[in-house]
Structure 1
Amino acid sequence: MKIQILGTGCPKCEKTAKVVREVVEELGLDAEIEKVTDLNEIMAFNVMMTPAVAIDGQVKIAGRVPSARALKKLLD
């Protein structure tokens, strides 16, 4: 599984990355976590508001910091 955190590095993007890492660790998932900070790459996902989370190339959450509960539902 590949999880991409889309964002330019703002505090909300950093919080999203932290939540993603914590949930992946808690669930014991074998996942590659990548931070995408390049604006052109982010726009290629058709994301207009960050932070966003893409799982296996598909944006699942955009424009907000996800809760651990919401991420667990997506990843479990």
Structure 2
Amino acid sequence: MMEIKILGSGCKNCTTLTKVVEEVLGELNMEATVEKVTDFQDILGYGVMKTPGLVVNGTVKFAGRIPSKDEVKKVLEG
């Protein structure tokens, strides 16, 4: 199963990114585990300096901005 992590402190942008990811998963009828990572040391461990960040199966796909739904779809469809 796909593993998705949202990196961030829980700010508005992080919440927005979570909603975008959940909407795309629903539209694609995909299942994935979605985890919020809020610990700063864990976020730094991914090399992300600006949040929000999106990690899919251990790879950072976006950082420092909210990607569009189309961008997220492309990443999740692989």
Q: Which TM-score tier does this pair reach, normalised by the shorter chain?
A: over 0.9
Aligned counterparts of 2:10 and 2:72: Cα–Cα separation in 1: 20
1: CA distance, partners of 2:13 / 2:29? 24
TM-score after normalising by structure 2? 0.94
The amino acid that maps onto 2:42 is E
Q: TM-score, normalised by structure 1?
A: 0.97
Instruction: For 1:55, give the aligned amino acid.
Output: V
Aligned-residue identity in percent = 49
Distance in 2 (CA, whole Å) between partners of 1:66 and 1:52 is 10
Q: Does 1:43 align with 2:44?
A: yes
Tell whether 2:26 aligns with 1:8: no
Where does structure 2 lack aligned partners over 5 or more consecutive residues? none
Runs of 4+ in structure 1 deviating by more than 4 angstroms, as ranges, are: none
Total equivalences in the alignment: 76
Q: CA deviation at 1:58?
A: 0.6
